[in-house]
Chain A
Amino acid sequence: MLYPRIIPCLLVHNKGLVKTIKFKDPKYVGDPINAVKIFNEKETDELMVLDIDATRENREPDYKMIENLARECRMPLCYGGGIKTAEQAQRIFNLGVEKIAISSIAIENQKVIKEIASQVGNQSVVVVLDVKKKLFGGYDVYTHNGKNKSKVDLIKFVEEIQELGIGEIVLNSIDHDGEMKGYDFHLIEMLRPLIHVPLTVLGGAGSLDDVGQLIKKYGIIGASAGSLFVFKGKYRAVLISYPNEDEKNTLIKHNYAK
């Protein structure tokens, strides 16, 4: 039986890990390598690391940092941030990263998606969509860490990128980011029927119950979260955590049994 994936998402800012709220107010939560070591010990399903500075500062990905992460990481690793060309993607892939996440370049130049896929394989190309509710219904897609609003039509875009051959879509709700009040089910409900590649959702999970609800509704899905795995308690004390095997089995058994 294939299991739903529970995926911590770590944000890198000024070489440290941070956690944001609605993409703002980054709070320092620790050292990336140290976090990876802890997630190794906890036998985490997968890990996603996003450098939230690279695209905004228009700089190259930090290859040295990626190499160090990949070397330490004993679970599948997805890296995103600053990737603009197939050459950069290939270089990161060769450092030992399983999945390459792109966002702004997927919007600016869809040809690059195809080029990256032909180098590293469709299955390793992940498109991250940072979306935010419009004032009067619907959603906009943002890039550059939530700074720039793109002109793409979300539904059309989701269909187009799948035609190009990608391996996964990460749907990230800017409105729910860091709020820890649950996933944006309205958004997921709208897009789920249109997505035929693996889908991972991010933004809003505040408890394992939130993850459970997601699994109950959608079965095979990637449940990603930042705050849930780096904070503890209502004062948001920094503490890296992840459900142990029993907790995970219970969560999945209660909500998803085939």
Chain B
Amino acid sequence: MIAIIDYGLGNVMAFANIYKNLDIPFKIAKCKDDLTMVTKIILPGVGAFDHAMQRLQESGMRETIDELVLEKKLPIIGICVGMQMLAQSSDEGNLQGLGWIDAKVKKFDKTLLDKNSPLPHMGWNSIKIARPNALMSEIDDEARFYFLHSYYFECNQSNECIATAFYGNDFTCIVNKQNIYGVQFHPEKSHHNGIKLLHNFGRL
């Protein structure tokens, strides 16, 4: 049973619809009691970093999620800001991240972007797969996904970077360390590639 964490941020229904169509069992978790019998976790996220960290804290689910991920080693995938929350910190805010991955979140450097490349980084971008990963099974190199963000994830351990995308600079758009995964784009809004990726996560 996949738990989609509903702490008021991110498009929970979009994930639910995709898993419903794939016939993969899921539930929407709004409080810690919803996290029993769970085998995998999706952590969506949109908006500002501090706001997201705060909302997760206030949801009352933080400690249970910590335990499921760090002790029981359940697979978790952070989406967009949900991925950024896996890092230690973000240029966007003052609060600490979850710190599960040795990484920080930085603002795109405007000086590296040409005048026709605005911020936020919005739209369909192709990704470059850096190393094979079960999450990327049957997804091609240069596959396109939908992005919407102004800050990017920078891994300190390069072997944890699964794929990169380019926007002024190369940045990590898929990360994996043991049972912990993160994607910067929105698989729930990326048509067949996104569905494939969520399907792969469901089969891990």
Chain A partners chain B: yes
Q: How far is the CA of A158 from the CA of B15 in the complex (A)?
A: 35
Which chain B residues (89-117) contact chain A, with CB distance < 8 Å? 115-117
**Which residue from chain B places its CB closest to the CB of A197 in the assembled complex?**
B118
Query: Is residue A121 contacting chain B, with contact meaning CB distance below 8 A?
Result: yes
Q: How far is the CB of A71 from chain B (nearest CB, A)?
A: 6
Task: Evaluate contact between A220 and B116: CB separation under 8 angstroms.
Answer: yes
Total count of chain A residues near the partner, CB < 8 A: 37
Query: Chain B contact residues (Cβ within 8 angstroms of A): what range?
Result: 35 or more
Query: Is residue A195 contacting chain B, with contact meaning CB distance below 8 A?
Result: yes
Query: Is residue B11 contacting chain A, with contact meaning CB distance below 8 A?
Result: yes
Q: Which of A2, A122, A198, A222 has the most CB of B within 10 A?
A: A2
Which chain B residues (67-105) contact chain A, with CB distance < 8 Å? none
Query: Is residue A1 contacting chain B, with contact meaning CB distance below 8 A?
Result: yes
Q: How far is the CA of A76 from the CA of B122 in the complex (A)?
A: 11
Query: Is residue A179 contacting chain B, with contact meaning CB distance below 8 A?
Result: no
**Which residue from chain B places its CB closest to the CB of A200 in the assembled complex?**
B122
Which chain B residues (101-156) contact chain A, with CB distance < 8 Å? 115-126, 144, 146-150
Q: Which of B121, B122, B148 has the most CB of A within 10 A?
A: B122
Task: Evaluate contact between A2 and B167: CB separation under 8 angstroms.
Answer: yes
Q: How far is the CB of A94 from chain B (nearest CB, A)?
A: 7
Which B residues lie within 8 Å of A193 (CB)?
115
Q: How far is the CB of A243 from chain B (nearest CB, A)?
A: 13
Query: Is residue A167 contacting chain B, with contact meaning CB distance below 8 A?
Result: yes
Query: Is residue A177 contacting chain B, with contact meaning CB distance below 8 A?
Result: no
Task: Evaluate contact between B150 and A96: CB separation under 8 angstroms.
Answer: no
Q: How far is the CA of A195 from the CA of B149 in the complex (A)?
A: 17
Query: Is residue A199 contacting chain B, with contact meaning CB distance below 8 A?
Result: yes
Task: Evaluate contact between B186 and A76: CB separation under 8 angstroms.
Answer: yes
**Which residue from chain A places its CB closest to the CB of B124 in the assembled complex?**
A3
Task: Evaluate contact between B123 and A45: CB separation under 8 angstroms.
Answer: yes
Query: Known contacts being A1-B166, A98-B11, A121-B48, is A45 close to B116, with CB within 8 Å?
Result: no
Which B residues lie within 8 Å of A102 (CB)?
none
Task: Evaluate contact between B47 and A124: CB separation under 8 angstroms.
Answer: yes
Task: Evaluate contact between A2 and B119: CB separation under 8 angstroms.
Answer: no
Query: Is residue B28 contacting chain A, with contact meaning CB distance below 8 A?
Result: no
Q: How far is the CB of B83 from chain A (nearest CB, A)?
A: 15
Query: Known contacts being A96-B13, A98-B189, A123-B150, is A199 close to B47, with CB within 8 Å?
Result: no
Please list 5 pairs of residues, one from A and one from B, whose beta carbons are closer than 8 Å in the complex, sorted by A's number: A3-B125, A43-B192, A46-B123, A120-B47, A122-B150
